[in-house]
Structure formats: C-alpha cells, structure tokens
Amino acid sequence: MSHTAHIPSHRKPRRSAPRTALRAGVAGGVLSTIAVAAAAGPAQAEPVTQTIEMPTLTSGLSTSVAASAEATQQVALDLETQAHEDAAATSAAKAATKAKAEAVRKAEAKKKAEAAAKAKAEAALRASRSEARTTLSASGSTAVAPSSSSATGSAASVIAFVKAQVGDAYVSGGTGPNSWDCSGLVQAAFRTVGVDLPRVSQAQSTAGTQVSLSNLQPGDILYWGGAGSAYHVGVYVGGGQFVGAQNSSTGVVQRPLSYDPPSGAVRVL
C-alpha cells in the first residue's frame, strides 16, 4: 500500500461543464450590458423623474362640513319657528275659548235680566189692572161718563162706527173693511170724523190728553199697558162699556170695562 493512501486530497472537485458554461454566459451578458450603458454617455445615466400632484382632499372636506353645519342650523331655526307658531296657536285657542265663555256668560246674564224685566212689567200690569178693577167696582156706573145715547157730534159718529164693526174678524195688521186689529179699528173710527191718528197702539196712547179712568167720556181712547208703550187700544162707548178688536178668538167685541180693565185713557175729541 502506498504511504499516501490515507492522506485526503486537497484538490477541488471538477465542476460540470454545463454549469460552468451557464455562469460564463451570464457574466458575459452583464459585462455587455455595462459596456452598452457606458457607450450611451452621461445623458443616459441620469434617472428620469416626474412630479405627480396628488388631489387636495381638505378643500372638498371643508365645503362638506360647512354645508352640514348650515343645514343643521337651518333645521334648528325651523324647529324654533315651529315652536313659536305652536305656542301662538295654543295661546290664540285659549283666548278664543275664554272669549266664547265670556260671551255665553253675558248672553245668559242679558237673558236673565230681560226675563226679570218682563216679569216686573207683567207684575206692574197686573197690579194696575187690579187697581183699575177695584176703582171701577167701588165707583159703580155713576162714576163713569153718561151712556152712549148722550154722546153727540163727533163722539157719537166714532161710537156708531166701532159698534157697527162688532162681530168682524180680528187680523193682525187689519185695517178693514171686514177685519181689523185694535189700532186699525180705532184709527178708522176717528178718520170718519176727520181726526188722523197714528197707526199703532203705542202712539195712539199718547195722541190726546190723558184722562182718569173715573172721568171717562164716550169717544175716549182706552189703552192697555203704559202710555207710549201700550200693547192694546179700544174705544169707550159709555155706560161702562168699550168696543175693541180683542184677538183672533173673539174678533171685534163690546164688553164691560171689568172684562179687561184698561190701564189709562186719552181724550182726542
């Protein structure tokens, strides 16, 4: 055995030919590239740079924020306006309700006052009739004027006219010749003797001189109610009797004064 047989060899292993050739080709390519770049000159060695402007985002964002703030403010103003309008409507409704209640209260008070005044007037009228009835009963027939047979002149003509209408119908607003109301009959009777009386009872009750019921004369105008506010009239025909268009049930009648005592009398003739 050789004395060198156990000494390891320091020689590098031989590389394969294909790998060696590949590396040589790569190196050659790199060197060729460098050579070409060097030949191109300094102008081709500098890198080309380009500035790209990025869009500014903050400008659009600020506009959007401003619009949002304006919209929020407008909503707040609208809500405040609506609140004021609601408060005004509520206040107006309360005022209207209060005014209506006050109007109803006043109307009721007026109605009560009118009812009280009417009741007072009716009581006074009843008292006046009662007094007149008492006076007529106490005085008897001698206290009143003579009977119609003693009437002369114009008074006799008036009495004759009203007596001739006894039995005719009563019609409100009637002025003859076959239907009458109370003042229409009295006016027509006095027109026959040339005396032009007012048309209504209220005015006829003040058309002449006021006379006492205890001093009546044939031809005097009797009235029921107050002087100037009478609601009915008739003609005294003497002997404690009167003729008048009473109502739709009785028509024109001749009755004693005690049948419906008058409130007063006026003398025209």
Do 195 and 269 meet the contact criterion of CB atoms below 8 Å apart? yes
Task: Single out the residue in 121, 139, 157 at which a domain terminates.
Answer: 139
Whether residues 134 and 148 fall in one domain: no
Query: Is residue 85 assigned to a domain?
Result: yes
Whether residues 196 and 234 fall in one domain: yes
Task: Single out the residue in 108, 139, 170 at which a domain terminates.
Answer: 139
Do 224 and 217 meet the contact criterion of CB atoms below 8 Å apart? no
Q: What single letter denotes the amino acid at residue 253?
A: V
Whether residues 135 and 147 fall in one domain: no
Question: What are the two backbone dihedrals, phi and then psi, of residue 223, each rounded to the nearest 5 degrees?
Answer: -135, 155
Q: What is the DSSP letter of 169?
A: E
pLDDT, tens only, 132-183:
555 544 444 334 444 444 678 999 999 999 999 999 999 999 999 999 999 9
135: Cβ contacts below 8 Å, ≥ 6 apart? 213, 214
pTM flag (> 0.85) = no
Question: Distance of alpha carbon 116 from its chain centroid, rounded?
Answer: 28
- Name the residue range of residue 208's domain: 143-267
Task: Single out the residue in 90, 117, 139 at which a domain terminates.
Answer: 139
pLDDT, tens only, 101-145:
888 888 888 888 887 777 776 666 556 555 555 554 444 433 444
Query: Is residue 124 assigned to a domain?
Result: yes
- Rounded (10°) CA dihedral 240, 244, 249, 251: 120
* Structural domains in the chain (count): 2
